[in-house]
Structure 1
Amino acid sequence: MYPNRWNDFRPSKKLWLWSMVGASAGTMLIGFLFAGWTTAGRASWMAEDAAQDARAELAAALCVEKFKSEANADSNLATLKDLSTWKRSEYVEDGGWVKLRGMKKSLPGVASLCAKELATLDRISASNGPSPTSGG
């Protein structure tokens, strides 16, 4: 009797329909939660976010170079390091190192990235190597 049980089984259309719905929902649930699937809108948002971060990092690197090229860079660095962490980005913005030529306003997050990078330096003159544009 039991060996023929599966052979004799004939599911109804209703059972087939709900089985397919459940399998589809389970596949989507696993795909979106664990397999890294994403919607087109989310992918677009992620790409824009990554581009914004890349622009901010590039602008921060240029900010650091602009800061280091100042005549009184060592004293500016000492002033920056004397400030509390949350006031450093304001100091960098007020100094004008964040704004780049042709930009009406600075990108979000650039001042804090620039200040964080500058705070890691010991001295400007010691860390100032040959400029990438000087060919040396």
Structure 2
Amino acid sequence: MTFPEWTKPGLYGALGGAVAISILGFTWGGWTTSGSAQTMAQDLAIEEVTLAMVPVCLNNSESDPERAEKLTNLGDLSGFGRRKAMMETGWAIRPGSDASDRNLAEACLAGLNLDGS
């Protein structure tokens, strides 16, 4: 069986077009793989749970009898030292957990508005 003369260039063109469409779709078209979509969904869920826990952190800070001392200490620090000190206050502990959460500590620091901004 013989194939028409245009078959070989036609197959190369179809293959090249499929590759080009795939590259354009994944780079500019917004296509994602299942793994990427799962990672994005998990990151969004963690962020939303952290934001939902900020009022709990702020309530913990308001009910702490040593609040003024701890706020003064937090105000004197900056950057990673401030986040570490926030984690040591015990305000950034999620209910049911024994350890402070770094993301919650950062969000709670933003909620405390120590810089006045």
Taking only the aligned residue pairs, the percentage that are identical comes to 27
Moved more, 11-20 or 77-86: 77-86
Partner of residue 51 from structure 2, selected from 53, 57, 65 = 57
Please state how far the C-alpha of 1:95 moved relative to its aligned partner: 1.2
CA contact (8 A) 1:89 1:114 kept: no
Partner of residue 81 from structure 2, selected from 58, 72, 87 = 87
Matched to 2:25, the amino acid is: G
Distance 1:107 1:74 in 2: 22
Distance 1:86 1:120 in 2: 15
Matched to 1:90, the amino acid is: K
Please state how far the C-alpha of 1:72 moved relative to its aligned partner: 4.1
Please state how far the C-alpha of 1:33 moved relative to its aligned partner: 0.4
Distance 1:101 1:56 in 2: 12
CA contact (8 A) 1:60 1:110 kept: yes
1:67 aligns with 2:67: no
Partner of 1:131: none
If the length of structure 2 is used for normalisation, what is the TM-score? 0.80
CA contact (8 A) 2:86 2:92 kept: yes
Partner of 1:12: 6
Deviations 1:14-36 (A, max 9, x none): 11111110111111111100010
Distance 2:98 2:88 in 1: 15
The gaps in structure 2 that reach 5 residues or longer are: none
Point out the structure with the larger helix share: 2
CA contact (8 A) 1:56 1:107 kept: no
Partner of 1:99: 93
CA contact (8 A) 1:92 1:98 kept: yes
